[in-house]
Chain A
């Protein structure tokens, strides 16, 4: 029986999910959880690592994670994007002439300049991340979602500020135009989603509050706060001894974290999975209700 023609599937812009937070709070784990859940719902997902070393290589037991995405069966696609490679790709796209490109990237002086230009690596990475629709610059990124396992707080803010610095410094030339278009994408709530990962400990909450405020000031967007390692408080009085004391402190912190963070952003509680193998933590979390 011929199927009724369904409504045309409208082309959607790609969604970009940025994960950041203080070091050691569980950014990578929650980014992987997000990616896995999206992938299981039938979306085309690319998890992107930033920086020089791959964490997911050990995590997913892969021989290598590099610039070109690799598919991990039953998980998602994964890639590692560095500033240098992103810049190289952008240059190749812009220069077009292979011989000129080679001349450029085989020249030590020119290469050192790329290293030297402040913020250029950051700009190249963000350029790559935002290169999908509506900008449509460079090679197509055939995914519905990019999940970015971002840097920790300070480094992440430096990354996000890079295009703003350039847009201010450069009023003419292709780089100026590109940076302004990038900022549009990064500020678009339909495309760019920001997640600040934290735990209930006071120090982490302080840093997260600062980060939420910084992101909001820079982008005009409210990030979602993911309160990792949350526990439901058992019924009954706290037990005796150090365990009781520890639990009392923990639940006091957790309550105060929810209240303080709740004032500035939406807070989603992520349950504490008591598992020693990170992969199992992601599998357990992906099965649950958390985003």
Chain B
């Protein structure tokens, strides 16, 4: 892992919700910072506790996290709304009035929070920004929780398809005429009528208005999506999967590894969190009831480890796999985060 952290320019941490992705991203940031690299850690929707530990603000301000004397890294929350607004404004530098019109549209607000792919886009756009700043040697991105990690990488394409020329042209009305009249293909005309009937004219009007304005910056959006894609397949961009130990999560890791490879990305490490408690090697306590509880736990963790070893052998995973024990308490300060670093060493 040290080798990867020493040469990577981008590190993308992926995994489903609840596996401790944000904490692990911060731990990786600590490791890289200790080796002297200038690091920016970007996080999405961190828990209140981690926000406190890292001193982060939801507004997206970049904060410096002091780990130990001489070791620090920068960190920020990805504020989707702010990233998107900044992107729209910079794309429409020459016509701020139009930018304003887009930003004020009610659907724009809904789009930011609801449209599938928009959170993924803003995360990647923020990553791109951080990378382009050249103030950092390494940018680490903690991705939004996805039921399936690979959804994250496909999301920008979905967004690109949506803003594609072919769709937008139906909404163009430079002469001020209703775009319906401009629709030449009878089939589309009827189909759009159906949507209007289903959703109501008011909604449809707003949608049309939004897309008409979006048209003016869709070129920039498409160009940026291409830049982002290039960045993600760059040899100095590495992916880390953070997961847990159970059968379903392991099956997911396998699918994920395959899909990443197919997409031309590098899966450089798998980190399995909370695989076993720290006390697993301790002798059993003496009291009868405690002895029973201890015994049940130990059998359970041993069985899990057996399943995992079997899986690892069977699946021939060709990147290092690290196992992080369950800590005795939640992370309460940056030292707790840094304390995890020792488990992510060596070949696995």
Q: Which residues of A contact B (CB under 8 A)?
A: 22-25, 51-53, 55, 58-59, 90-91, 94-95, 100, 103-104, 107-110, 112-122, 152, 154, 158, 162, 165-166, 169-176, 201-203, 206-207, 231, 234-247, 249, 274-278
Closest 4 CB pairs of A and B: A23-B17, A24-B18, A173-B200, A23-B18
A-B contact pairs, 25 of them (CB 8 A): A22-B17, A23-B19, A24-B17, A24-B19, A52-B148, A91-B198, A95-B194, A103-B194, A109-B188, A115-B158, A120-B199, A162-B114, A173-B203, A174-B198, A206-B48, A234-B292, A236-B287, A239-B294, A240-B285, A241-B279, A242-B279, A242-B282, A246-B328, A247-B293, A278-B248
- Of the candidates B158, B191, B201, which one forms a contact with A104 in the assembled complex, judged by CB atoms under 8 Å apart? B191
B285 / chain A contacts, CB cutoff of 8 Å: 239-241, 243-244
Highest count of chain B CB atoms <10 Å: which of A24, A100, A236: A24
B203 / chain A contacts, CB cutoff of 8 Å: 117, 166, 169-170, 173, 175
A90 / chain B contacts, CB cutoff of 8 Å: 198
Chain B 272-290 residues near chain A, CB threshold 8 A: 277-279, 282, 285-287, 289-290
* Of B61-69, B122-130, B300-308, B314-322, the one with at least 4 CB within 8 A of chain A: B300-308
- Of the candidates B162, B191, B248, B299, which one forms a contact with A107 in the assembled complex, judged by CB atoms under 8 Å apart? B191
Q: Per-residue 0/1 for B310-343: is the Cβ within 8 Å of any A Cβ (1 yes, 0 no)?
A: 0000000000000000101110000000000000
Is B151 at the interface (CB under 8 A from chain A)? yes
Is B226 at the interface (CB under 8 A from chain A)? no
B110 / chain A contacts, CB cutoff of 8 Å: 118-119, 165
How many angstroms from the CA of A201 to the CA of B18 in the assembled complex? Answer: 12
Does the CB pair A154–B45 fall under 8 Å?
Answer: yes
A121 / chain B contacts, CB cutoff of 8 Å: 116
**New A-B contacts (18) at CB < 8 Å, excluding given A171-B202, A274-B296, A278-B246:** A24-B16, A24-B244, A109-B167, A113-B192, A113-B207, A116-B115, A116-B207, A119-B114, A120-B199, A152-B17, A169-B206, A173-B200, A174-B197, A174-B198, A176-B200, A203-B47, A276-B303, A278-B247
Number of A-B contacts (CB under 8 A): 190
CB nearest to A107 among chain B residues: B191
- Contact A51/B147 with A112-B167, A239-B285 known, Cβ cut-off 8 Å: yes
Does the CB pair B328–A249 fall under 8 Å?
Answer: yes
Does the CB pair A207–B201 fall under 8 Å?
Answer: no
Q: Which residues of B contact A (CB under 8 A)?
A: 16-19, 45, 47-49, 106-107, 110-111, 113-116, 145, 147-148, 151, 158, 161-162, 166-167, 170, 187-188, 190-192, 194-195, 197-203, 206-207, 211, 244, 246-248, 251, 277-279, 282, 285-287, 289-290, 292-294, 296-297, 299-300, 303-304, 307, 326, 328-330
A274 / chain B contacts, CB cutoff of 8 Å: 296-297, 299-300
CB nearest to A55 among chain B residues: B248
CB nearest to A113 among chain B residues: B195
How many angstroms from the CA of A4 to the CA of B235 in the assembled complex? Answer: 79
How many angstroms from the CA of A241 to the CA of B281 in the assembled complex? Answer: 11
Does the CB pair A158–B247 fall under 8 Å?
Answer: no
Does the CB pair A118–B18 fall under 8 Å?
Answer: no
How many angstroms from the CA of A58 to the CA of B250 in the assembled complex? Answer: 12
- Of the candidates A113, A158, A242, which one forms a contact with B277 in the assembled complex, judged by CB atoms under 8 Å apart? A242
How many angstroms from the CA of A202 to the CA of B332 in the assembled complex? Answer: 11
- Name B's interface SS: helix
Highest count of chain A CB atoms <10 Å: which of B191, B290, B294: B191
Does the CB pair A118–B286 fall under 8 Å?
Answer: no
- Contact A110/B287 with A169-B202, A206-B48 known, Cβ cut-off 8 Å: no
- Contact A107/B188 with A24-B17, A243-B285 known, Cβ cut-off 8 Å: yes
Nearest CB in chain A: distance from B44 CB, A: 11
How many angstroms from the CA of A103 to the CA of B187 in the assembled complex? Answer: 7
- Of the candidates A116, A174, A206, A207, which one forms a contact with B162 in the assembled complex, judged by CB atoms under 8 Å apart? A116
How many angstroms from the CA of A75 to the CA of B76 in the assembled complex? Answer: 46
Does the CB pair B188–A110 fall under 8 Å?
Answer: yes
How many angstroms from the CA of A120 to the CA of B199 in the assembled complex? Answer: 9
A119 / chain B contacts, CB cutoff of 8 Å: 110, 114
- Of the candidates B202, B286, B299, B328, which one forms a contact with A239 in the assembled complex, judged by CB atoms under 8 Å apart? B286
- Contact A100/B282 with A23-B17, A55-B248 known, Cβ cut-off 8 Å: no
- Contact A115/B277 with A173-B199, A236-B290, A242-B328 known, Cβ cut-off 8 Å: no
Does the CB pair A152–B199 fall under 8 Å?
Answer: no
Does the CB pair B290–A239 fall under 8 Å?
Answer: yes
Does the CB pair B190–A103 fall under 8 Å?
Answer: yes
CB nearest to A101 among chain B residues: B194
CB nearest to B331 among chain A residues: A203
CB nearest to A105 among chain B residues: B191
How many angstroms from the CA of A172 to the CA of B114 in the assembled complex? Answer: 22
B251 / chain A contacts, CB cutoff of 8 Å: 58
- Of the candidates A24, A25, A52, A173, which one forms a contact with B151 in the assembled complex, judged by CB atoms under 8 Å apart? A52
